[in-house]
């Protein structure tokens, strides 16, 4: 403990590397564990992290988005032979959402990931904070040698804000145009219909089924469209709800005023 405290003091900065070199290897890890107790975050290099993969009963550490967690209590899953052992002692943030667990897939670069993937990574980080013990940062892609965020982390945070905004807009869109109920009898028929709880969106109106060509989506989805009252967007005196929305199309073979439509499969 005393050695660790001395290494933390600024007056020993010039001699710090020399002092570190004099510490016996078998107690160096313990010393740096003590240092972490006196500093905000313990900083790991990838070489250091690779030592914690659970071999010979050792602790098991996992890094995601540059944050290091002690997952030793999950040895069954993260230890040698465990389903998720490949995540340990490694820097493979991208693989948490890509599903590519090869050496090529276990990497930190997040270029080209969708906003949904970015949210997925954030969700995994939250999971590890809730279920395991956070112990420090991994120096490299997301944090520099002083533990400060890199440009890559700034970019991630920016994308995450975009993802949250899009999620908010999507949630509002689902309330405005709830999904239809549907059922299919293979080889016989398909039915779509609207109710006051279709799509899991409880409301005080039923609506009619329409093909909804949502901007930004390549495929249309079935939406229940309000057919009474003023339009959601405002700016019109019409009294037929959102039926005039240009992104809506009546299903072929379905009456425009019907709340339920049947199609032969």
151 phi/psi in degrees, rounded to 5: -60, -30
Distance between CA atoms of 160 and 115, rounded to whole angstroms? 7
Q: Is the pLDDT of residue 10 over 90?
A: no
Q: Is the pLDDT of residue 168 over 60?
A: yes
Distance between CA atoms of 126 and 227, rounded to whole angstroms? 41
**Residue-range domains of the chain with CATH:** 1-39 (no CATH), 41-168 (3.10.120.10), 178-264 (no CATH)
Q: Is the pLDDT of residue 173 over 50?
A: yes
Q: What percent of the chain has pLDDT over 90?
A: 76
- Beta-carbon contacts of 15 under 8 Å, excluding residues fewer than 6 positions away, are none
Q: Is the pLDDT of residue 213 over 50?
A: yes
Average pLDDT across the chain, whole number: 89
Q: What is the 3-state secondary structure (H, E, C) of the chain?
A: CHHHHHHHCHHHHHHHHHHHHHCCHHHHHHHHHHHHHHCCCEEECHHHHCCCECHHHCCEEEEECCEEEECHHHHHHHCCCCCCHHHECCECCCHHHHCCCCCCCCCCCCCCCCHHHHHHHHHHHHHHHHHCEEEEEEECCCECCCCCECHHHHHHHHHHHHHHHHHHHHHHHHHHCCECEEEEECCCEEEEECCCCHHHCCCCCCCEEEEECCCCCCCCEEEEECCCECCCCCCCCCCECCCCCCCEECCCCCCCCCCEEEEEC
Q: Are strands 189-193 and 260-264 parallel, antiparallel or unpaired?
A: antiparallel
Encode pLDDT of 14-54 as tens digits. 555 556 566 666 565 555 555 544 457 899 999 999 999 99
Q: What percent of the chain has pLDDT over 70?
A: 85
> Mean of the pLDDT values across residues 196-201?
94
Encode pLDDT of 98-115 as tens digits. 999 998 899 999 999 999
Q: Is the pLDDT of residue 222 over 60?
A: yes
Confidence of residue 238 (pLDDT cuts 50, 70, 90): confident
Distance between CA atoms of 97 and 112, rounded to whole angstroms? 12
Encode pLDDT of 183-193 as tens digits. 999 888 899 99
Q: Where is pLDDT greater, at 85 or 12?
A: 85
């Amino acid at each position: 403990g005393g050695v660790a405290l001395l290494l933390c003091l600024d007056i020993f900065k010039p001699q710090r590397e020399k002092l570190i070199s004099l510490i016996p290897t078998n107690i160096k890890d313990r010393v740096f564990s003590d240092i972490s107790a006196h500093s905000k975050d313990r900083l790991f290099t990838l070489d250091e992290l690779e030592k914690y993969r659970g071999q010979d009963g050792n602790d098991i550490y996992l890094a995601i988005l540059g944050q290091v967690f002690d997952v030793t209590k999950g040895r069954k899953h993260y230890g040698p032979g465990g389903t998720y052992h490949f995540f340990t002692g490694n820097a493979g943030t991208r693989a948490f959402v890509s599903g590519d667990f090869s050496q090529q897939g276990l990497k930190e670069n997040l270029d080209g990931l969708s906003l949904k993937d970015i949210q997925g990574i954030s969700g995994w980080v939250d999971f590890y904070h809730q279920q395991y013990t956070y112990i420090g940062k991994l120096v490299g892609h997301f944090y520099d040698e002083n533990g400060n965020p890199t440009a890559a982390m700034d970019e991630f945070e920016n994308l995450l804000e975009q993802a949250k905004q899009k999620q908010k807009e999507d949630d509002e869109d689902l309330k405005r145009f709830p999904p239809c109920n549907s059922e299919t009898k293979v080889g016989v028929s398909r039915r779509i219909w609207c109710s006051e709880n279709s799509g899991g969106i409880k409301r005080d109106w039923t609506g009619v089924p329409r093909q909804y060509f949502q901007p930004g989506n390549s495929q249309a989805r079935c939406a229940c469209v309000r057919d009474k009252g003023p339009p959601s967007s405002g700016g019109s005196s019409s009294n037929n709800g959102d039926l005039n929305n240009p992104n809506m199309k009546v299903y072929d073979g379905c009456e425009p005023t019907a709340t339920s439509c049947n199609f032969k499969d």
